[in-house]
Amino acid sequence: MWTLPGGAPARDVRPVLPDGCVDLLWTDGRLLVAGPDTHAFVPERADAGWAGVRFAPGDAPAVLGVPAHEVSDRRVPLADLWPATRVRPLAARVARAATTSPGSALEELALRLAAAAPRPDPLLRAVVTRLDAGWTVAATAEASGLGARQLHRRSLDAFGYGPKTLARILRLQRALALVRRGVPYAAAAPAAGCTDQAHLAREMRALTGMTLTAYAVSPPPPPPPPPPAPASVRASASASVSAYNSTPEPSGSSTTA
């Protein structure tokens, strides 16, 4: 779970890069769903406060009941996906805590929704694990017992894009994670699976619309996440959804749970 306090200058907000995740958001008294991105997203209103719960790649469709490709590159009001009669009491519950701890209220809501949802498909979680480990799409499909077309179709529903795009996004995130730890681009690129720094630069521009130079001078990333939640909370969440901790929260945010 992450929060972004209101009033942050626009220049201090780091663009949200593609990471394969879906977020449940709270801002301006509304519940929104942020679909999986295929390019960098910059919040339109840097002055607005935000709270979000991030779902691991492939987990959100089971909770939200909507294929991921239907919300790709979109910020959609939850009321556009669910009946308004269902969303209003959920929004009211978060709103009651908005002045003190909207993030905690949103997290509690997400845990309730996750507990009532089907468990994430272990096959799709294995797909993410293999692609994030650098497996090829062909090897991942074979290990999963799926044909290429089956894997592509199921990936669109689960992740919002095909397995090749997901693999590229995960590789980019691996490289940027190394860069955030101080590894030079020239070393981070091959360590993450790119041919060289030039390859990483092309992927950065293709997947985010940003250059490596622009990323380097953008605001610093947020502080690291806090220690894991108590076991009882983790158990409740993991029944249907898992946090994706390899991707940092949006710039200016702070974790509160």
Q: 221, 227 in Cβ contact below 8 A? A: no
- Write the DSSP symbol of residue 84: H
- Write the DSSP symbol of residue 94: H
Query: What pLDDT is stored for residue 96 in this prediction?
Result: 86
Pairwise CA distance, residues 49 & 4, whole Å: 6
Query: What pLDDT is stored for residue 9 in this prediction?
Result: 63
Quote the tokens at residue 77.
């009001």
Beta bridge partners of 53: 24
Query: What pLDDT is stored for residue 214 in this prediction?
Result: 84
Pairwise CA distance, residues 172 & 169, whole Å: 5
Q: Which residue has the tokens 């919300």?
A: 71
Q: Which residues of the chain have pLDDT under 50?
A: 221-257
Q: Which residue has the tokens 């030039």?
A: 198
Quote the tokens at residue 4.
């972004």
Note the pTM of the prediction, 2 decimals: 0.81
Query: What pLDDT is stored for residue 224 in this prediction?
Result: 41
Q: Which residue has the tokens 């108590």?
A: 230
CA 200, chain centre distance (Å):
21
